[in-house]
């Protein structure tokens, strides 16, 4: 970005810059400073094109700030992008599936995703990368380990839980990592069912698990609402990703993405 320290500005240019700063149009300000500092470079550009550049710079600034805010609030610890993950059919990850996750249409349709596979095959990495892609598009995301999520909802009193439900209702993508490591008991079953119900049809959920999809219901305590909860979380119309292969934790693959040998 250019500096104005060695640039002589006209009074009207100074006034424009002051007005832009007062209105906190930061990206717009950076671009107009660039133009004022390099008049020779922009002299043949039309007014409309110069204005368009300023507006594009402002929009990019707003988008970047929104992404940073969404990422901070998401609780996703490792920022990884879908573009860093290569298709690997032998591991259960096709190019078609990657494009589907990147496209994000599942969010518009409130479709859930279940990612299954053995330990270390990249379930959490893929879920987080899909979440980051969603945030790049402006969607809100929230990540929890399933065990932490269960402990959290069980510990809340009715008023706090009601507020938490309302927050989750507004989250466009909820990621629950490592489902099935422990049985979900009475209070948690009821709470999860309320959360699944309030989000049904308006928000997507990604669940990662070592269990096969047909076994997901088995970790929910038997109760009258067991089937209802399972149906809301694991629907036939949802996207199922089955990752295969050996663990790559600590290997180059964990950092470089899915790559066929």
Residues 142, 110, single domain; the answer is: yes
Report the distance separating Cα 135 and Cα 204, nearest Å.
13
Which tokens go with 214?
Answer: 């047909």
Residues 68, 114, single domain; the answer is: no
Per-residue pLDDT at 206: 96
Closest by CA to 206, choosing from 102, 80, 137, 107, is 107
Q: Which of 22, 40, 73 is where one domain is finished?
A: 73
Give exposure, 219-230, as e/b (b: 16+ Cβ within 10 Å): bbeeeebbeebb
Report the distance separating Cα 211 and Cα 238, nearest Å.
16
* Residue 23 vs residue 145, higher pLDDT: 145
Per-residue pLDDT at 3: 58
What mean pLDDT comes out for the span 61-81? 91
Q: Does residue 119 carry a pLDDT above 80?
A: yes
Q: How confident is the model at residue 261 (pLDDT cuts 50, 70, 90)?
A: very low
Residue 172 near residue 111, CB atoms below 8 Å: no
CA 97-98-102 angle, 5° bins:
120
Segment 7-55, tens digit of pLDDT? 778 888 889 999 988 888 888 888 888 888 888 888 889 999 999 998 9
Compute the Cα dihedral for 103, 92, 229, 77 and give only its sign: negative
Report the distance separating Cα 185 and Cα 91, nearest Å.
33
Contacts of 95 by beta carbon, 8 Å cutoff, 6+ apart: 87
Residues 60, 83, single domain; the answer is: no
Residue 207 near residue 197, CB atoms below 8 Å: no
Q: Which of 22, 57, 73 is where one domain is finished?
A: 73
Q: How confident is the model at residue 4 (pLDDT cuts 50, 70, 90)?
A: low
Residues 35, 157, single domain; the answer is: no
Compute the Cα dihedral for 71, 132, 80, 68 and give only its sign: negative
Most confident of 43-57, 227-241, 243-257: 43-57
Residues 183, 123, single domain; the answer is: yes
Q: Does residue 260 carry a pLDDT above 50?
A: no
Q: Does residue 115 carry a pLDDT above 60?
A: yes
Average pLDDT, the chain: 88
Q: What's the domain range around 151?
A: 76-256
Q: How confident is the model at residue 250 (pLDDT cuts 50, 70, 90)?
A: low
Residue 232 near residue 112, CB atoms below 8 Å: no
Share of the chain above pLDDT 90, in %: 54
Residues 245, 175, single domain; the answer is: yes
What mean pLDDT comes out for the span 156-176? 96
Residues 47, 132, single domain; the answer is: no
């Amino acid at each position: 970005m250019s500096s104005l320290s060695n640039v002589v500005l006209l009074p009207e240019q100074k006034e424009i810059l002051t007005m832009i700063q007062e209105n906190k149009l930061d990206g717009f300000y950076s671009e107009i400073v660039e133009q004022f500092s390099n008049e020779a470079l922009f002299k043949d550009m039309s007014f409309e094109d110069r204005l368009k550049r300023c507006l594009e710079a402002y929009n990019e600034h707003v988008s970047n700030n929104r992404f940073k805010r969404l990422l901070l609030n998401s609780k996703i610890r490792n920022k990884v992008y879908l573009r860093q993950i290569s298709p690997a059919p032998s591991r259960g990850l096709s190019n078609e599936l990657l494009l589907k996750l990147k496209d994000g249409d599942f969010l518009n349709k409130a479709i859930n995703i279940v990612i299954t596979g053995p330990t270390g095959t990249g379930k959490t990495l893929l879920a987080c990368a899909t979440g980051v892609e969603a945030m790049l598009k402006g969607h809100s995301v929230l990540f929890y380990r399933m065990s932490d999520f269960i402990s959290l909802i069980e510990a809340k009193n009715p008023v706090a839980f009601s507020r938490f439900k309302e927050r989750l209702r507004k989250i466009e993508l909820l990621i629950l990592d490592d489902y099935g490591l422990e049985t979900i008991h009475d209070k948690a079953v009821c709470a999860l069912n309320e959360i699944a119900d309030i989000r049904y049809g308006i928000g997507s959920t990604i669940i990662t698990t070592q269990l096969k999809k047909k076994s997901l219901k088995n970790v929910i305590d038997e109760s009258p609402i067991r089937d209802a909860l399972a149906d809301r979380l694991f629907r036939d119309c949802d996207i199922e990703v089955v990752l295969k292969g050996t663990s790559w934790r600590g290997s180059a693959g964990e950092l470089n993405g899915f790559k066929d040998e």
